[in-house]
Amino acid sequence: MEQSMQDFVPHYSTPEPNQTIPLSTDEKVEIVFEGTTYQGKADIWLEFLPKPGLVINALFPDDSLALQRLAQQSRLLRFPSLNAECNVLLRSIGTEFEPRPMSRITFYPRVGQINIRNADKPLLQRVDFHLLNFLDFHCLVGGMSTDRIVEEVEGDRQNFESLGCAVLMADGWRITLTALPSTRNLMRAFEGTTGYAITHLGRIEREDGALFTGRRAEDLLDALHYFLSFARGFWTPPILPVGLTSDGQLAWEQWVIGKTHAWEYVPSWFDAKHGQLLAKVFPGFWNLWSSEAWHDPLRESIDWYLRSNTNGGDMGIILSQAALERLTYAYAVPNQGLPKFFPCPEQKKAREKKHRKQTKFEDLPASRKIFEVFSRLEIPVEIPEQLRSMRRTAEERSRKCGPQAFTYMRNKIVHASTLRAKEWMTILYETWSLGQWYVELLLLRLCRHTGEYSNRLEPGRMGDVTPVPWAGNEIATHSIDLGPD
């Protein structure tokens, strides 16, 4: 896929990690208090340290105590030329005396964003967004690279660079995600530091070229936030979206940064040498996201999965089980393909009795819930051979089933007084790895992915992928409706 660099130019950039992004300078700003309007000028920027957020640094030609008092009480700033306003929190107040007395007041937006212009009115041809802290991926489709080839000229030298590019399609939307010329240098910089940087540019369009509003783009941006974070293994938000009309005029913009996480290498199912996995998994993810039954379970389980992935240890195990239980419940309870009742575990010896105790799915132990759903979705329930310490400990306690061994360890963490015993500390990492692997497999299965993925339990190098356990098999037709393929 060869395209000119002029087609994908970021509106904002961070040549180095943690570099502040100026959004507007000398912007007219108003504070209205008790019928009086105070006008001033403001500089607005996005800063990353000590933590990411928008900052409004306003200067008012009045140093009166009344103005400083109203700044502490007022919660609304207006930007007339941007057709925007936002509720704010006070950061600091100061006075400047040159060239004349003035009040300098710094604010934070209360909700972390400023909406520029109405999201419902202008019809947009495309929306560009900027992605924080994503991997420098590359794609192969049918043995052919889909990367963008861009030309760089340095004096008399002409260089060509391959930039990773993936195209995600779903429900008539086309999302192009591409690396930037600065991406590779940022990857090198992150080898010696942490923090935040814009690593990729994204573009949202309709496949048929139809126009759309910023309001419609907002839900898609929210979905991309969760999907790309699920792939990256920590929160990586699309930030600073810019909407353009068919004649290239800026008509809508959001100064926003969502949930994010400082750069680090964490395991996940996505492999940077197989960027095409994004395009393969996203359509199924969007079907779940668009489903009323699955929207909330998907959001909640990914939130817990990401928190587990960046915490690990005992807290990570608890969060992984929370995600598993949320997803298995969402799949099984409305699912007419599963039995309505299950034999109670304590009644195994009485299976042949005519009258034996039974219970509903939601009343089963967590291990049994996970086992029943995994069995129907062809997700392995045996403890993987790579987890040697966990296998040995589970066999000693007659817990040979993976879900049973995992939930047993979680219960020991939550309830047992021997929580810090040496025998448990040695297998905490393996238990956490198993739980996160389970969450990844379950989400990929629900997204109807039947291709390859990166198995976090397999020691290997970047570029090593393996088929999903159910490769080539679809979810049975009696399962809950996940939307069209």
The domains of the chain are located at 5-15+119-283, 21-116, 291-467
Query: Per DSSP, which regions of 324-451 are E strands?
Result: 341-343, 358-360
Residue 306 CB-half CA count within 13 A: 24
Say if CB 411 and CB 440 are below 8 A apart.
no
Max avg pLDDT among 116-125, 249-258, 387-396: 249-258
Q: Which stretch of 59-68, 118-127, 361-370, 449-458 has the lowest confidence by average pLDDT?
A: 59-68
Q: What's the pLDDT tens digit per position in 259-316? A: 999 999 999 999 999 999 999 999 999 999 999 999 999 999 999 999 999 998 889 9
**Dist CA 467 CA 280 (whole Å):** 13
Q: In this prediction, what percent of the chain has a pLDDT beyond 70?
A: 81
Mean pLDDT throughout 176-186? 94
**Dist CA 436 CA 456 (whole Å):** 9
Q: What's the pLDDT tens digit per position in 138-177? A: 986 655 556 665 555 455 554 556 688 999 999 999 999 9
pTM metric for this prediction: 0.89
Q: How far is CA 40 from the centre of its chain?
A: 37
- Cis? peptide before 50, omega within 30° of 0: yes
Beta-carbon contacts of residue 1 (< 8 Å; ≥ 6 apart): 146, 147, 148, 165, 167
Strand order across the beta sheet in which 250-256 lies: 113-116, 250-256, 238-244, 126-132, 198-206, 173-179, 165-170
Beta-carbon contacts of residue 446 (< 8 Å; ≥ 6 apart): 284, 288, 294, 327, 331, 475, 482
**Average model confidence (pLDDT) across the chain:** 84
**Dist CA 286 CA 281 (whole Å):** 9
**Dist CA 405 CA 394 (whole Å):** 6
Q: What's the pLDDT tens digit per position in 86-96? A: 888 888 888 87
Q: Is 1.10.3470 the CATH number for 21-116?
A: no
Q: Which of 273, 244, 317, 313 is nearest to 461 (CA)?
A: 273
In the predicted structure, residue 362 carries a pLDDT above the cut 60: yes
